[in-house]
Chain A
């Protein structure tokens, strides 16, 4: 099997993956997916722990992009997911039709991954999205 690299660093593929990993402020518990120098919530620079986020959540907002930038395949569903147990992320909703009959507010979804490209050395880039449960 070809080597796989995550599309973004907060997607963990190895070990118990795939799952999303957050940086958790040791002072206040705020979660960030991206790397931070200090906590955006409380300003503490004491450091971060890592925490696995839930694979499941609900759609709290979405759009169906019909006209995208050059080189971006449309249509696609962009949705913000409130993850069970805390944390929020924006990703595509996949494995369903991109129309307002098939994606709805409050819809429960679960994490899924898929290959989005292959490098010259054969490495595969893996993205995540959410599929309806």
Chain B
């Protein structure tokens, strides 16, 4: 029924890490089939698929996945939105159900990155023999390293440093603390790529990638997939009671891009889109940030996490450092952030990340998160940023029909 609530019926993620013995379709199929089974349904029940794989964006990934799990002829939305690709796939399915065109759908994100280099590191400049302006800035050769950096570690390092410039009572030590926290959290998550605790001193002394981000403060390259099955509220009412009991309500699904700001062309703005998306999501869900029992946010680099405490309203404006100092985002703090270990430890298979965030929150709300369970969790938020920029936010709630 159009306008109906949408629920998460099934969810699964593969362990994130290296899967050299599998290809990208194996990973997507494993996650998809397990998410369907988790919801007590099959591919025959699906009316739509949303699929994403950033590094296979032109390959018709959704149709390729269908050929592994069932070619039933249903529509496929192949989506790409940088690191917000997974959240976009979830939202494509959500919208199809919301519009009344589908009762159930599968969203899947997958990536195999094990043998790739650092995020966003394109090939460097080669010696050109003549200088011909090209592109919107009329460059005569590649500008990386000559006009600053647009590599991911560099851009997110600068975004974090901008927060230090604009706010008091916060310094680079806070970035190291965030990394220490997330790696500590990861030790409880068997699905995490790394489950190793690092001391603050170890984090500071690790190889520097792009100041202030050292190696453990950067998300690694990861293979992995995640999938969720969404269902309309009306259709959910006809499902068996034990299936209904584990379903989780999507209270808000929001996607926003970055509006114009003067410095946006110089340094991609990941703040305004997050603030706008958060405001909208809280309004739609009727939830206050202080109601959140846990948050999975986009810590592609430790420097990024700090910004989003503020952007998501988890702390007072300008108070991200204080929030951390007062233990707020730790798993036993006021609003636990990234109890999965975050992208820094769990890994960041780009298109899977946004779907995996929905999996993580769903698992806690079901009370099925094992050692890392946040006890009694009723409301959770998952956030991703795709540079360029896109912010995706989903607020999930434990609710009964």
Instruction: Give the interface size class of chain B.
Output: 35 or more
Q: Is A92's CB under 8 angstroms from B140's CB?
A: no
Annotate B284-317 by CB proximity to A: 1 below 8 A, 0 otherwise: 0000000000000000000000000000000000
Of A9, A61, A74, A129, which one neighbours B162 at CB under 8 angstroms? Answer: A61
Interchain CB contact (< 8 A) of B148 among A67, A92, A100, A116: A92
Taking the closest CB of chain B, its distance from the CB of A22, in whole angstroms, is 10
- Known contacts A65-B151, A78-B149, A117-B128; 9 further A-B pairs (Cβ under 8 A): A9-B133, A9-B139, A33-B265, A68-B145, A82-B263, A88-B263, A90-B149, A90-B158, A119-B131
Indicate if B144 sits at the interface (CB-CB under 8 A): yes
Flag if A66 contacts B145 (CB, 8 Å).
no
Once bound together, how far apart are the Cα atoms of A121 and B129, in whole Å?
8
B128-148 contact mask (Cβ, 8 Å, vs A): 1 or 0: 111101001111110111111
CB of B2 closer than 8 Å to a CB of A: no
B161 and A5: CB pair below 8 A?
Answer: no
Q: Check B131 against A68 for contact (C-beta < 8 Å).
A: no
Smallest beta-carbon distance A118→chain B, Å: 9
Known: A61-B159, A64-B211, A92-B146. A125 touches B140 (CB 8 A): yes
Does residue A27 face the partner (Cβ distance < 8 Å to B)?
A: no
Distance in angstroms from A131 CB to nearest chain B CB is: 14
B73 within 8 Å of A by Cβ?
no
User: Contacting B209 at CB < 8 Å: which of A6, A8, A67?
Assistant: A67
Contact B151 A120 (CB under 8 A): no
Question: Is A91's beta carbon under 8 Å from chain B?
Answer: yes
Whether B157 sits at the interface, judged by CB under 8 Å, is yes
Q: Is the interface of B mostly helix, strand, loop or mixed?
A: loop
| Structural contact, A8 and B139, CB atoms closer than 8 A | yes
B127 nearest in chain A by CB position: A117
Question: How distant is A126 from chain B, measured CB to nearest CB, in Å?
Answer: 9
- A65–B267 Cα gap in the complex (Å)? 15
CB distance from A83 to the nearest CB of B (A): 10
How many angstroms from the CA of A117 to the CA of B157 in the assembled complex? Answer: 28
Chain B neighbourhood of A81, CB < 8 A: 266
Instruction: Give me the interface of B with A, judged by CB distance under 8 Å.
Output: 117-118, 121-131, 133, 136-141, 143-151, 153-154, 157-162, 164-166, 172, 207-213, 260, 262-263, 265-267
A39 to chain B, nearest CB (A): 8
* CB within 8 Å for A61 and B165 given contacts A7-B146, A34-B136: yes
Q: In the complex, are the beta carbons of B151 and A69 less than 8 A apart?
A: yes
Within 8 A of B (CB), among A1-50: 5-10, 30-36, 40-41
Q: Are A125 and B138 in contact (CB under 8 A)?
A: no
B137 touches A71 (CB 8 A): no
Give A70-107 as 1s and 0s: 1 = Cβ < 8 Å from B's Cβ atoms.
Answer: 11111010111110001111111000000010000110
In the assembled complex, the Cα of A66 lies from the Cα of B133 at a distance in Å of: 28
Q: Is the CB of B144 within 8 A of A8?
A: no
Q: Give B133's nearest chain A residue, CB to CB.
A: A9
CA distance A71 to B124 in the complex (A): 5
**Do A61 and B149 touch (CB < 8 A)?**
no
Shortest Cβ distance from B149 into A: residue:
A78
B161: chain A residues at CB < 8 Å are: 61-63, 105
- Residues of B near A91 (CB, < 8 A) are 147-148
Q: Which residues of A contact B126 (CB under 8 A)?
A: 71
Partner among A41, A63, A120, A125 whose Cβ is within 8 Å of the Cβ of B157:
A63
Distance A86 CA – B130 CA, assembled complex (angstroms):
34
Chain B's closest residue to A76 (CB) is B145
Please give the distance in Å from A6's CB to the nearest CB on chain B: 8
The reply to whether the CB of A51 lies closer than 8 angstroms to some CB of chain B is no
Which of A80, A82, A127: most chain B Cβ within 10 A?
A: A80
17 examples of A-B residue contacts, CB within 8 angstroms: A6-B138, A7-B146, A8-B138, A8-B139, A30-B260, A61-B159, A69-B151, A72-B144, A79-B158, A87-B262, A90-B147, A90-B149, A90-B158, A106-B165, A117-B127, A117-B141, A125-B140
A40-B260, A64-B211, A68-B151 given; A8·B143 CB < 8 A = yes
Instruction: Please determine whether B165 and A100 come into contact, CB atoms closer than 8 angstroms.
Output: no
Q: Known contacts A7-B146, A65-B154; is A71 also within 8 Å of B123 by CB?
A: yes
Q: Which of B129, B145, B165, B260 contacts A65 (CB 8 A)?
A: B145
Among B130, B158, B162, B260, contact of A78 (Cβ-Cβ < 8 Å) = B158
Whether B265 contacts A125 by the Cβ 8 Å rule is no
- B129: contacting residue among A106, A120, A127, CB under 8 A: A120
Q: Contacts A32-B265, A78-B149, A125-B131 hold; do A69 and B124 have CB atoms under 8 A apart?
A: yes
Please, how many angstroms separate the alpha-carbon atoms of A44 and B102 in the complex? 39
> In whole angstroms, how far apart are the Cα atoms of A116 and B145 in the complex?
11
Contact between chains at B266 and A80 (CB < 8 Å): yes
A60 contacts chain B at the CB level, 8 A cutoff: yes
In the complex formed, the residue of B with least CB distance to A63 is B157
How far is A80 from B154 in the complex, measured between Cα atoms in Å? 11
